[in-house]
Structure 1
Amino acid sequence: MKHLFFTLLAALLMGQSTGCTAENRAGVKAENLATAPAETVETSQVIALDEASFAEVVFDFKNSSEWDYKGDRPAIIDFYATWCGPCKRLAPVLVELQSEYGDKIQIYKVDAEKNRELAAAFGVTAYPTMLFIPMDEDPAGAKGLLPKEELERIIETFLKVTK
């Protein structure tokens, strides 16, 4: 199942990105990580998910082998680690994108270290890893830190959302 989700954008985006793996995390502190609290409910904010809330609002990864997105708009899932430098740099960019696109998309964050079963289900081996979920197609993923301009291009071309 995990390889099904990381096909479309992976080859295109791999060479352009930088990211963290468990092997290169030494010395990075979790200070100043900009993440949205789990209780965030406004649609114009990035929403933090755990495994249970992910299964409820995105996809029941434990009980379904066929992709069945539960959302009502395209989404981006950011799998991050608190110690990851590129994840810390990506967090405010995702907040900006959520604000700019408003209720046309939803951006979620998943702490992959606290939600290891969920991260494993989607083949997360480096941070950040993003899952891009269009409304009527299979999702695709990218690993590493992508610039805001590249994320905007993906939102507009793959997710088919404009500002």
Structure 2
Amino acid sequence: MKRTILAFGLAALSLVSASACTAQASSTEQKAKPEAQAGQPAEAKKELVKHIDAAFMRANIYDYKANPTKFVFKGKRPAVVDFYATWCGPCRSLGPKLEAVAKKYEGKIDFYKVDVDKNAELSQIFRVQSIPMVLFIPMEGIPTQTLGNLSPEEIQQSLDLIYKAAK
């Protein structure tokens, strides 16, 4: 599994993955679910993986404006944030795998999705250069960043690390 410790501030991450997308798609290829607005999830129904925006990120996960050089987690449970694009094949393949583990960890780990095409600010803050990029956020400490279309085993390995640390 390709892992990188998330670095904030002036440090640049140069990330490469054979199973990741780096090109931009045309607007005709972008057919996404509605994004969250005003810091709230897009749909009122219970979602296992919530689509979020910058306002939701700052209010509920990490306020990068208040803490630009240090990751201060605001969540009540460990979290997983999937940075994706609707036009990205590896992202579309990873999505169902994350949905499956979200069912297994419902109420124990929070799962989120960020459409990089609609959330340029978050993509820049988290230095997303290649997608899919997944952040595995423990209750304490620095999140782990992974790239590419992860296998179920790689997902489980990362989830075990953040979930066991929360117990």
TM-score range, shorter chain: 0.7 to 0.9
Stretches of structure 1 lacking an aligned partner (at least 5 in a row): none
Q: Secondary structure at the match of 2:155?
A: helix
User: Which segments of 5 or more consecutive residues in structure 2 lack a partner in the other structure?
Assistant: none
CA distance in 2: counterparts of 1:161 and 1:101, whole angstroms: 14
Of 44, 56, 60, which aligns to 2:59? 56
Residues 67 and 92 (structure 1 numbering): CA distance in 2 closer, same or farther, change over 3 Å?
A: same
Q: Does 1:139 align with 2:137?
A: no
Contact 1:19 1:143 in 2 (8 A): yes
* RMSD of Structure 2 on Structure 1 (CA): 3.2
Aligned-partner Cα distance in 2 for 1:121–1:45: 25
Partner in structure 1 of residue 102 of structure 2: 98
1:45 to 30, 33, 48: 48
Highest RCO, 1 vs 2 (Cα 8 Å, sep ≥ 6)? 1
> What TM-score comes out, normalization by structure 2 length?
0.76
Are 2:105 and 1:86 equivalent residues in the alignment? no
* 2:77–2:108 contact (8 Å) kept in structure 1: yes
**Which of these residues, 75, 85, 89, is aligned with residue 71 of structure 1?**
75
- Amino acid aligned to 2:22: T
Aligned counterpart, 2:120: 116
Contact 2:60 2:74 in 1 (8 A): yes
Helix, strand or coil at the partner of 1:22: coil
Question: 1:90-118 CA distances to partner (integer Å, 9 max, x unpaired)?
Answer: 11111111001111101100011111111
Identity within the alignment, %: 38
How many residues get paired? Answer: 151
